[in-house]
Amino acid sequence: MSQYQFKTTNIRGKQYVEVNERIKFFRQEEQYKNWGITTEFPMLTPDECLCRCTITDKDGMVIAVGHAHENRTASNINKTSYVENCETSAVGRALAMLGIGIDTLRRRRSPRPSPPLSMTSWTRRSTTSRVPAISARHTT
């Protein structure tokens, strides 16, 4: 049983596993072989976007979902890259819902992935808008 060591970045005193590290882990681990990561933009305007990332298992069953919202004026980097930022954030959230990269230094490997968390109702606040509550359910 191998232990994957995530590289972390210190952000305001906390160790953060960057999305690129989460993706590398997801793509190289045998337990996620033939799983998929897809993104879509339910909202994309010249000033803001909303991205939904879906992770599916090898049978195409939805296992985890993550959403993100970005506004072009929210930061300096968003002036040119708000769509890319949004997609990266959504992927990172979906991988976190799967349990990848949420332990700071390493993730214990199990033969099967843990079942995803059930999101019954949540909202994410942004500086300019609210994302409507969503619901996702997984049964085994």
pLDDT digits (tens, 9 = 90+) for 105-123: 434 444 444 444 443 333 3
Find the mean pLDDT for residues 26-47: 96
108 contacts: CB under 8 Å, gap ≥ 6: 3
pLDDT at 102: 86
Find the mean pLDDT for residues 2-22: 88
In DSSP terms, which residues pair with 11 in a beta bridge?
Answer: 14
- Which is more confident, 24 or 130? 24
- DSSP code at position 136: B
pLDDT digits (tens, 9 = 90+) for 51-106: 999 999 999 999 999 999 999 999 999 999 999 999 999 999 999 999 999 864 43
Q: How far is CA 34 from CA 4, 37, 131, in A?
A: 19, 10, 31
Q: Is pLDDT above 70 for 132?
A: no
**20 φ, ψ (degrees, to nearest 5):** -60, -35
Q: How many helices (H) and strands (E) are present in the chain, helices listed first?
A: 2, 7
pLDDT at 103: 65
